[in-house]
A and B are shown apart, each in its own frame.
Chain A
């Protein structure tokens, strides 16, 4: 006896729901962390508009400030700040796992790597603040 239709290769592909990540807290944080990429891109665009305005004229800079203080831009930037902070905290936290630093034949404890990154954050932030507002 022959069976018909048995020649094509059939793979079992379980369907994954679009919303699989809403069921568990860790999955949810993972997807939120990944979504921070949208807000990174948005703020690059925002900074480009800012540099463009400053490059053109004082009036353009003033118009940029007015636009940036409109409610929807402010709301978007509040959300952006939250996602950027999530990115910073999670990025610093996984760095020791991605990068094993060895000094004098010993692995540097992850606590030191994380503390070092926060020190970098503080130094860079202080420098930017000084450069912009002095």
Chain B
């Protein structure tokens, strides 16, 4: 596919990932990053989490969340390096950023497969 056809799609995924990150991440970071590990709230018991995560709807939602947030992050970080930190090696930066998103997405498929 040519660059011209891919670019609108990437911007669309960037926006979708941005919305999802804005709406989902604050509560997820608060709960799983801080409240449960630090014992502010009792961590949910294993059987319950297992049941929630292996539900088909959860698997699909998590897959969408992970992939779109990774593309969002890669796209934005590419411009951060280019404009923000003045790293002008455009192609290398793009390959590293989107390559990272692809690797992460493949990992997401594998992890969700195990959890299913």
Give me the interface of A with B, judged by CB distance under 8 Å.
16-18, 20-21, 30-31, 34-38, 40-41, 43-48, 50-52, 54-56, 58, 61, 65, 68-69, 73-74, 77-78, 80-81, 84-85, 87-88, 91-92, 98, 117, 120-121, 124-125, 128-129, 131-134
Known: A51-B111, A61-B46, A88-B22. A43 touches B80 (CB 8 A): no
B60 within 8 A of A: no
Q: Are A88 and B37 in contact (CB under 8 A)?
A: no
Residues on A with C-beta less than 8 A from B32 are: 46-47, 50, 68
Q: Is the CB of A121 within 8 A of B31?
A: no
Contact B53 A34 (CB under 8 A): no
Chain A residue with minimal CB distance to B81? A34
Residue numbers in A under 8 Å from B27 (CB-CB): 124-125, 128-129
A68 and B36 form a contact (CB under 8 A): yes
The residues of B with any CB-CB pair to A shorter than 8 Å are: 15, 17-19, 21-34, 36-39, 41, 43-44, 46, 48-50, 52-54, 62, 66, 69-70, 72-77, 79-80, 83-86, 100, 104, 107-108, 111-112, 114-116
Given contacts A18-B86, A44-B73, contact A54 B28 (CB under 8 A): no
Contact A68 B33 (CB under 8 A): yes
Contacting residues, chain A, for B85 (C-beta < 8 A): 18
Please give me the residue from chain A that is nearest to B29 by CB atom: A81
CB pair A41 B115 closer than 8 Å: no
Chain B residues with Cβ under 8 A from A134's Cβ? 48
B54 to chain A, nearest CB (A): 8
The reply to whether A43 and B66 form a contact with Cβ atoms under 8 Å apart is no
Given A31-B84, A37-B73: A81 and B24 within 8 A (CB)?
no
What chain B residues lie within 8 Å of A43 (beta carbons)? Answer: 25, 28-29, 33
Q: Which residues of A contact B83 (CB under 8 A)?
A: 34
Bound complex: CA of A129 vs CA of B35, how far in Å?
A: 11
Determine which of B49, B70, B72, B114 lies in contact with A61 in the assembled complex, contact meaning CB atoms within 8 Å: B49
Is B66 a contact of A48 with CB atoms below 8 Å?
Answer: yes
Q: How far is the CA of A100 from the CA of B80 in the complex (A)?
A: 26
